[in-house]
Amino acid sequence: MTTYTGLNGQAVPGTPENSAVTTLDEQQIDYYDSDIKKLIPKQDWMKEFASGDRWKKYTEIRERLQKISKRFS
């Protein structure tokens, strides 16, 4: 499950405008931060997965969702 959070209105210092957290079996496995525009693996086994082309696609998906969110806020 991926949970997306977006701030609407005044920015909060140190808090990204958009973020996303993916959980699997109640464990956080990745985190996306719109300030640094990176998808960060949070489990050792995800770090191996993150080295492939598929990881780049997942990062691009988060970036696109960030842009869509901005349009509707």
pLDDT in tens, 24-68: 999 999 999 999 999 999 999 988 888 778 888 889 999 988 888
pLDDT at 24: 94
pTM, 2 dp: 0.78
Q: Which one has a higher pLDDT value, 7 or 32?
A: 32
CA atoms within 13 A on the CB side of 28: 10
pLDDT attached to residue 40: 93
Note whether 17 and 11 are within 8 A (CB): yes
The H-or-E segment that residue 55 falls in is helix 53-71
Q: Is residue 21 predicted with pLDDT exceeding 90?
A: yes
